[in-house]
Amino acid sequence: MKYNFSFTGFTPDAGYAPFPASVPGNIQRDFLDANPGFLSDINFGQEHRKMRALEPYTWIYTTELAFERRPGEKLWFVTEGIDYIWDLALDGEVFYSHEGMFTRVELCLDDILGDKVIPGAKFDIIIHPHPMLHDEPKDRTQAAQCCKPPVSYEWDWHPRVIPSGIWDETYLETRDPGHIDFAEARYTLSEDLKNASVTFDVRCASAAAVTLYDPAGDKIAELPVENGKASVTVENVKLWWCRGLGEQNLYRWEAASSTDSASGTIGFRRTKLIMNKGAWNEPDGFPKSRSYPPAQIELNGVPVFAKGSNYVNQEIFPGIVTPEQYEETIRLATQANMNIFRCWGGSGIQKKAFYDLCDKYGMMLWVEFPLSCNNYYDSDHYLAILEQEGTAIIEKLRCHPSVVLWCGGNELFNNWSLMTDQHLALRLLNKLTYDLTPEIPYIMTSPLAGMKHGGYTFIDRTTGLDQFALFTRSKGTTYTEFGIPGITSAEEIRSMIPEDELFPPKPGGSWEDHHAFKAWGDDAWLCIGTLEKFGDISTLEAMVETSQWLQGVGYKAIFEEARRQKPYCSMAINWCWCEPWKCAVNNSLIGYRNIKKSGWYTVRDSLRDVVGTVRMTKFAWARGEEFFCEPWLLNDTLNPVSAQLSVSVTIEGKEYTLGTCALDAKSNENAQGTKFSFIIPVNIPDKTRMTVICRYTVDGTTDENRYEMLILD
Amino acid sequence: MKYNFSFTGFTPDAGYAPFPASVPGNIQRDFLDANPGFLSDINFGQEHRKMRALEPYTWIYTTELAFERRPGEKLWFVTEGIDYIWDLALDGEVFYSHEGMFTRVELCLDDILGDKVIPGAKFDIIIHPHPMLHDEPKDRTQAAQCCKPPVSYEWDWHPRVIPSGIWDETYLETRDPGHIDFAEARYTLSEDLKNASVTFDVRCASAAAVTLYDPAGDKIAELPVENGKASVTVENVKLWWCRGLGEQNLYRWEAASSTDSASGTIGFRRTKLIMNKGAWNEPDGFPKSRSYPPAQIELNGVPVFAKGSNYVNQEIFPGIVTPEQYEETIRLATQANMNIFRCWGGSGIQKKAFYDLCDKYGMMLWVEFPLSCNNYYDSDHYLAILEQEGTAIIEKLRCHPSVVLWCGGNELFNNWSLMTDQHLALRLLNKLTYDLTPEIPYIMTSPLAGMKHGGYTFIDRTTGLDQFALFTRSKGTTYTEFGIPGITSAEEIRSMIPEDELFPPKPGGSWEDHHAFKAWGDDAWLCIGTLEKFGDISTLEAMVETSQWLQGVGYKAIFEEARRQKPYCSMAINWCWCEPWKCAVNNSLIGYRNIKKSGWYTVRDSLRDVVGTVRMTKFAWARGEEFFCEPWLLNDTLNPVSAQLSVSVTIEGKEYTLGTCALDAKSNENAQGTKFSFIIPVNIPDKTRMTVICRYTVDGTTDENRYEMLILD
């Protein structure tokens, strides 16, 4: 029997009244709800800055134990996660202390506390102040020796608002000897992927049995549990596939004792990281270095072109995210024809529902441990916490078929992090993943050699190239971060920027706090110079349109070019998908709480599993210039595809036909056509948009892919 | 009390008489000694080919147990290593089976066999046929799923002769409860390297104590052993240094019980692999990859330029190498001013004496696990053996201060091996080294990104460049293999090549078997075209002189250029140092059984810790051409060095002075001068050698560094 907690929260560090505290939730969010005078709306203006005053506080959840215990039962405290350093106290006496928010903790209160465990006893969860490696600078480096997601210490798209508290399921439970303490199903697949040997690990002091159901819901095995184990071979398994390549087949199992039950799902799949096609041919000549490390996901023997986005936390307060919110976010990604999220290390680990939903929707997950852009140097304390938290994360996620890749963390081998392959943290994570999930590949960080991150603006700062030009000149085994900023909708802007600051955007106030300025250099993410050069910024609405247009067309350029570079290139994963609060401008395709930007539609079009595209080597073309482009049929399906492509250009309502061609793409391969060109008319206004339309007919059905390019002197 | 075995060897697979078998030794070597008619001399002609007939054989060592056991004593069987799959049998009954040659095995025969253990009982060690992954091809790939060194399956400088048998110490021992089962000293150094916390692990059923002596031999601690542990803090430790940077300070300890004793040494040192200077600045721009992995050894806080050679097995039969032979080989390396051996993975692990001697002489060791140029793919069997053997290797070597770096194996991430960072073998070795020696860095293979292997001939095949030209255009964090072939002495050639094949060398016979042809492509290692182009090959003696001259000058070019590229470049390690049999031509600097080639002298000169050098960008110069060179003062010492350099060129006995300069090199840094040049006279014969002399005066002492270059039309 489970008993939910009903806590009151308070802080001994200030004169605020106690307040109702949510489970799960975050104590600072509860505090704000109870104290509307503290700030008006964390998403509005510079209100979020007031949160910094709360940082040094200790918070206490307090309640009286409420439960009924039958004979033979013992009372347990169970939590899936409390953020970040905390104690448990009974009647004011601390009896347990913990560091780390990702470890499931189960404690038998009766065994620890004896006859003090009675209904009505005072029960406290004491949340210590956030870990801070140093006082200054007040930035992510303060989190460089802990396993708390560093993002909340401030990022270029995240305000400095640090949450804590009971962020995941936490309850009391009375347990009898029939309680199932642990149940897990693991398997090995035969080399030919036809059969699976499944082993159930069911820990229960009394007799138990396991029932297994196939994806259709039909019972296929009933197994007694002996010495904590049950096993079965499933023949002709229905494999789990990512979206686009097959069904998301999930087998369900149920373990039952006389008084308890537990259940879970199995998605049979084999995941590998194999060499990118052609990468063994490099390097050539002597003296010779190594070949690039593998970065091609192979799912069930099929090399998958991974197209997706970087998933970041959807809320500043991770405790308040709902399954419905997760589901909408994931659904939007699959609707945009994505098949992978890189779960970025700066954001930490999600609640279980997220992984269940990714299993269901066929979103593959590249899961990073909570390290990002810091030097997590070797110290006994940090390594001990990382071992605990890393183990907990692996054990929590390892049965999700969606989890196809572990990664130590984000951008650790670059000069803003200063970590190397020799750092014990990353060697430890390699060891833990080897021991606990040798069947799932592990990389230490991203990017590795051959993999590429950035750029993050429509015009590359170093070279001055637009993203069409930059990426057609680039060669990467993967593009695992690339970003183009887009302003969110005018309606959203009005809800976050005070009237007197609204337009035009200026640095130093709310626009800057919402990342329009000085987020990544002085001018990003707004990049007003770029907007002005290419479009209309005379009104807020016009500026939003210009920005979202450039975001969409820029993302289209990169996603499609990366796909054309397949099979050498194996991934196109933009930075980033969603955002945890109202960013005025951000590289995200989905604004706060699942608001689509217009780039969502262009990316959706670019990521269609079969799509006709044209390769263009720059964005802006001059009047009278010869415009040229190369038709490509992209095919990520396992079927061969034949298509008729025709390319035309529309300028000021007049359509110019460039040519047509027939292209045959083999299974999971692209097909390249020969160049088309035409001379751009001279007598049209500067800054006119030119629509390039690639119409493609497959099996009698015609679809089109549009690019809104620019004519510019 | 130890009882050495006196075995008779035989094979049940053929009609040979039993023969005396050496311990340690190799059974095939013993067989040859007893059967001189089987082949005349394994180093002569093509005699080694006869060894292939022995490959399928099972071999048996047999004896009668001989020992005396006092009351309270038990009889143990102890081996440091038996090659490779073997059983133990008593009175014809197998009671123990084993795979792997690097694991120390200790068995209490009384506990296993009870009252059958009596003097006179028949005791057999049965050596199974060599592991062979497949029948064809008969090459190193047959060893791709075992931990036997693959080199003996044939390499481009090693005949196919596969040894087996009792290759390391193996004996019977009677043990009483005072026996010290295990004794080891480990330590942690304080961050400032001043103090060491030493922990002794002494396992003994009765009371024991440890005594510690400083490098001068003075007793500094007497410690009781409690619960198997003793510990002490040594203050103001005298650190262990590699040759050139300080003393090889070794503390000695002795553990003693009432009836037994054990001893060992401690060399206090801290080893790290840090980023090469400047490597964090790369890569630049977006989209951005990672920075190169670290490849700079830091010893006791000092970045060391590692200059040395690839150590390979010194004998085909590893069981017959003597400590004296090891010592001479190591002494020759330190005399050549080297400070590191890369112990190449193809050759396996040496006897303990090798590591003791490297500790003593200050040779740092980069130790590779026994993987090389194969795809050691994931299989349960291989991973189990690798875990056993890897653990044994780490535990055997980890207390040697000379061991500064672990490496998974040789050239595994290139397209002739097809392994990647995802192979479980290399992830397992990461785990084992992390668990057992987190204080010693680990790399998965060499080369890694930024590190370079090759070329291996005086003229690069792809570009046609000589090694002066190739390496002055190259940029590497390390050069960890580079080779120039040199013919061994004419006397040695006459001892291995039959009279009727002696001269000129031709493919298809003994020269080819001794690696002159078709070892690395058709023409290497002899490279007769290169020899003919640059020198005289009219007689054997002339050809040897030409070859050794080019080897010496080529190695000089690369070693010095690599040193000039410090601090970005951190290692210059040529391929290779020694050889296990009589190679007619090989990249080695030391012929079989420690015979110096002339290149040994030029390399010794190039590797002087302080040396004046000149940088030249090609080897051959034309008459009338402007010759130019750049003076550099190289300094690997921790002292600043000021030197006066003068450069001259001697042609046909006439010396031309190019210039002089004063150079000041900071501690552990080089100093670069400005270019000198002169016009090469026109009226001299083609193929005249030109001696470039760099004289340098430091503290009033003048030394010189000579390059024998060529004038060629």
Write the DSSP string, B383-406. Answer: HHHHHHHHHHHHHHHTT-TTEEEE
The answer to whether A159 and A174 are in contact (CB under 8 A) is no
Whole-number Å distance between alpha carbons of B193 and A67? 57
Q: Which residues pair with residue B695 across a beta bridge?
A: B646, B704
Tell if the CB–CB gap between A287 and B455 is shorter than 8 Å: yes
Helix (H) or strand (E) holding A21: strand A19-21
SS3 annotation, B434-484: HHHCCCCCEECCECCCCEEECCCCCECCCCCCEHHHHHHCCCCCEEEECCC
Whole-number Å distance between alpha carbons of B668 and A96? 53
Q: How far is B375 from chain A (nearest CA, A)?
A: 14
Determine which of A273, A276, A284, A290 to mutate to test the interface with B (most B C-beta atoms within 10 Å): A290
Whole-number Å distance between alpha carbons of A170 and A103? 12
With tokens 């009647």, the residue in question is A91
By DSSP bridging, strand B451-453 and strand B478-481 are parallel
In this complex, is the C-beta atom of B52 within 8 Å of any C-beta atom belonging to chain A? no
For residue range B573-589, what is the model confidence (pLDDT) as tens digits? 999 999 999 999 999 99
Q: Residue B713: is its pLDDT beyond 90? A: no
The answer to whether B102 and B147 are in contact (CB under 8 A) is yes
pLDDT at B262: 98
Tell if the CB–CB gap between A291 and B435 is shorter than 8 Å: no
In the DSSP assignment, the letter for residue B495 is H
For residue range B116-162, what is the model confidence (pLDDT) as tens digits? 999 999 999 999 999 999 999 999 999 999 999 999 999 999 999 99
Whole-number Å distance between alpha carbons of B448 and A634? 34
Whole-number Å distance between alpha carbons of B305 and B634? 11
Tell if the CB–CB gap between B447 and A272 is shorter than 8 Å: no
By DSSP bridging, strand B340-343 and strand B364-368 are parallel
For residue range A433-451, what is the model confidence (pLDDT) as tens digits? 999 999 999 999 999 999 9
Tell if the CB–CB gap between B449 and A445 is shorter than 8 Å: no
CA-closest candidate to residue A155, choices A515, A411, A494, A400? A515
- Tell if the pTM clears 0.90, that is, is over it: yes
- Chain B neighbours among A 332-371 (CB < 8 Å)? none
CA-closest candidate to residue B307, choices B333, B275, B339? B339
CA-closest candidate to residue A569, choices A204, A304, A334, A284? A304
pLDDT at A180: 98
The answer to whether B448 and B421 are in contact (CB under 8 A) is no
Q: Is the ipTM of this complex over 0.95?
A: yes
Q: Hey, CA dihedral for B504, B510, B511, B517, is it positive or negative? A: positive
Q: Residue B181: is its pLDDT beyond 90? A: yes
Whole-number Å distance between alpha carbons of B291 and A413? 6
Q: Which two tokens stand for residue B286?
A: 């977006």
Q: CB atoms < 10 A from the CB of A529, how many? A: 11
Which residue in chain A is spatially nearest to B380 when comparing CA positions?
A438
The answer to whether B627 and B678 are in contact (CB under 8 A) is yes
Cα-Cα-Cα-Cα torsion B300, B302, B305, B308, nearest 10 degrees, comes to -10
Whole-number Å distance between alpha carbons of B284 and A686? 35
Beta-carbon contacts of residue A404 (< 8 Å; ≥ 6 apart): A269, A271, A297, A299, A340, A364, A365, A366, A440, A441
Nearest to B289 among A290, A450, A470 (CB): A450
Tell if the CB–CB gap between A447 and B294 is shorter than 8 Å: no
Half-sphere exposure of B134 toward its Cβ, with a 13 Å CA cutoff? 7
* Sequence-ordered strand ranges (E) for B317-376: 340-343, 364-368
In this complex, is the C-beta atom of B206 within 8 Å of any C-beta atom belonging to chain A? no
Q: CB atoms < 10 A from the CB of B262, how many? A: 20
- Chain B neighbours among A 383-422 (CB < 8 Å)? 413-415, 418, 420-422
Residue A342, by phi and psi: left (phi above 0), alpha (psi -120 to 50) or beta? Answer: beta
Peptide bond into B455 cis (omega under 30): yes
Q: CB atoms < 10 A from the CB of B94, how many? A: 11
Peptide bond into B580 cis (omega under 30): no
pLDDT at A650: 97
The answer to whether B213 and B264 are in contact (CB under 8 A) is no
In the DSSP assignment, the letter for residue B373 is S
The answer to whether B581 and B43 are in contact (CB under 8 A) is yes
Scored b (16 or more CB within 10 A) or e, A495-525 reads ebbeeebebebeeebbbbbbbbbbbbeebbb
Tell if the CB–CB gap between B454 and A287 is shorter than 8 Å: yes
* B351-378 average pLDDT score: 98
In this complex, is the C-beta atom of A474 within 8 Å of any C-beta atom belonging to chain B? yes
Low-confidence ranges of chain A (pLDDT < 50): none
Which residue in chain B is spatially nearest to A276 when comparing CA positions?
B420
Tell if the CB–CB gap between B286 and A470 is shorter than 8 Å: yes
- Chain A neighbours among B 431-470 (CB < 8 Å)? 431, 434-435, 438, 441-443, 445, 447-456, 460-463, 470
pLDDT at B577: 98
**What residue spans of A453-513 are helical by DSSP H?**
467-472, 490-496, 510-513
Q: Which two tokens stand for residue B694?
A: 């760099």
With tokens 């430091």, the residue in question is B698
Q: How far is A343 from chain B (nearest CA, A)?
A: 19
Q: Give contacts of B450 with chain A, Cβ < 8 Å.
A: 289
CA-closest candidate to residue A74, choices A5, A171, A174, A180? A174
Q: Give contacts of A474 with chain B, Cβ < 8 Å.
A: 287
Q: Give contacts of A443 with chain B, Cβ < 8 Å.
A: 421
Q: CB atoms < 10 A from the CB of B173, how many? A: 17
By DSSP bridging, strand B701-711 and strand B654-665 are unpaired
Q: CB atoms < 10 A from the CB of B507, how many? A: 12
Q: Which two tokens stand for residue B637?
A: 């010492």
Cα-Cα-Cα-Cα torsion A446, A448, A450, A456, nearest 10 degrees, comes to 30
Q: How far is A166 from chain B (nearest CA, A)?
A: 34
Whole-number Å distance between alpha carbons of B567 and B668? 9
Q: Residue B559: is its pLDDT beyond 90? A: yes
pLDDT at A344: 98
pLDDT at B538: 98
CA-closest candidate to residue B198, choices B180, B213, B218? B213
Which residue in chain B is spatially nearest to A466 when comparing CA positions?
B286
pLDDT at A543: 98
What integer best gives the mean pLDDT of chain B?
97
Q: Which two tokens stand for residue B343?
A: 């112990």
Domains, chain A, with CATH or none: 2-175 (2.60.120.260), 180-269 (2.60.40.10), 451-607 (3.20.20.80), 610-711 (2.60.40.10)
pLDDT at A713: 86
Whole-number Å distance between alpha carbons of A554 and B612? 56
The answer to whether B23 and B5 are in contact (CB under 8 A) is yes
Residue B545, helix vs strand vs coil: helix
SS3 annotation, B186-207: EEEECCCCCCEEEEEEEEECCC
Cα-Cα-Cα-Cα torsion B47, B50, B54, B56, nearest 10 degrees, comes to 140
**What residue spans of A575-629 are helical by DSSP H?**
598-606
Task: Provide, for chain B, the percentages of residues in helix, strand and coil under a 3-state DSSP scheme, each rounded to the nearest 5.
Answer: 20, 35, 45
With tokens 């040519």, the residue in question is A659
Determine which of A191, A273, A289 to mutate to test the interface with B (most B C-beta atoms within 10 Å): A289
pLDDT at B352: 98
